[in-house]
Amino acid sequence: MKVGDRHYHTIWLNDDGRSVDIIDQRWLPHEFRVATLKTVDDVATAIRDMWVRGAPLIGVTAAYGVAIAMQSDPSDAALDVAWEQLHETRPTAINLRWALDAMRNGLRAVPVAERAVDAYRRAAAILLEDIELNRAIGANGVDVIRRIAAGKRPGEPVNILTHCNAGWLATVDYGTATAPIYMAAEEGIKVHVYVDETRPRNQGAQLTAWEMHGHGVPHTLIVDNAGGHLMQHGGIDMVIVGTDRTTADGDVCNKIGTYLKALAAKDNGVPFYVALPSPTIDWTVHDGVREIPIEERSSDEVSFVQGQATDGAIVTVRISPAGSPAANPAFDVTPARLITGLITERGIAEASPQGLKALFPERS
């Protein structure tokens, strides 16, 4: 996607051929900064502290973290250490483990002397695959938007509610939930996106709104709890969100608050779609509520907010009484029964074991 007049991915190999550059998302939307990750420690910090975020991008970044580690020490022992160090950074997003497993399993078969070069090749392949997966998700998801648009009165937009940021900033390019939206807009389909602010980190307000503005997509920022009200009054035609882990039975783990949007959508007959690349499916898990580990993040994310002061400075301020404790579960699980469809690179699946296996028969 473009930032100003320049096309960017969220991560790319530095000119030195060893380190990687990333868009440091901590400073958006007020400042656009690029950070260079030179060591596996840098990569672990960037993932854990959310310089990069979004399940697909976390996976790609981790793959490059393994490649960077192999530059210093390509031994089996170092490979295992890098896997463990990067794996523990974010426990919920399954793409992290998928990418790390792909790197370690592949590199085990490569002679030690060739591993450093081969690791960068494998990481680049994972990056390119992510772009193509998201492009395909967009092509499949735009069909849903076309069908809804066909039933609207002339000139009326398709009103779409999204939650958190499942945009290009959460992937390498295109995004998952946003890919169909971008493709619809490029086709000339009138769309309007209601962007949930997505407390506590405000990824909707800070990232999705920034993306929509930069891409010229009409949008309106709303508080998290306004979605149900808009659905009750016919203001939402569909909901589309991303996911950090989807079970083999079709349950979806996504940013906290997604479950409440799905309940409101079900109660009001609003289609609720989830966009995901296949590496986000955890085929070893069936009951998302009981089996998926939910990351508990720092209470500071709840008690403090970051924003831009009137003088232009980026500041952090406390919004709760000093001494008041806060809990911060980062994700919740939306049961399959509340989901209209899972938009994947192979098509749209029913959120069920049968629906997923129909698209991915090799998993049967």
How far does CA 214 lie from the centroid of its chain?
18
Angle between helices 178-187 and 115-150 (to 10 degrees): 60
Contact 160, 204 (CB under 8 A): no
Residues involved in catalysis: 244
The residue among 44, 9, 34, 20 whose CA lies nearest residue 167 is 9
C-beta contacts of 3-9 below 8 A and 24+ residues apart:
3/32, 3/214, 9/127, 9/131, 9/172, 9/173
Rounded CA gap, 256 and 88, in Å?
A: 20
Q: For residue 273, what are the contacts with CB-CB under 8 A and spacing of at least 6?
A: 141, 144, 238, 239, 240, 241, 339, 340, 341, 342, 343, 348
Q: Tokens standing for 109?
A: 């078969």
The residue among 233, 227, 287 whose CA lies nearest residue 258 is 227
Per DSSP, the residues of 29-75 read TT---EEEE-SHHHHHHHHHTTSS-SHHHHHHHHHHHHHHHHHH--S
- The conformation of residue 89, written as its DSSP 8-state character, comes to T
Q: For residue 295, what are the contacts with CB-CB under 8 A and spacing of at least 6?
A: 90, 91, 92, 329, 330, 331
Contact 196, 206 (CB under 8 A): no
Contact 103, 123 (CB under 8 A): yes
Rounded CA gap, 228 and 209, in Å?
A: 20
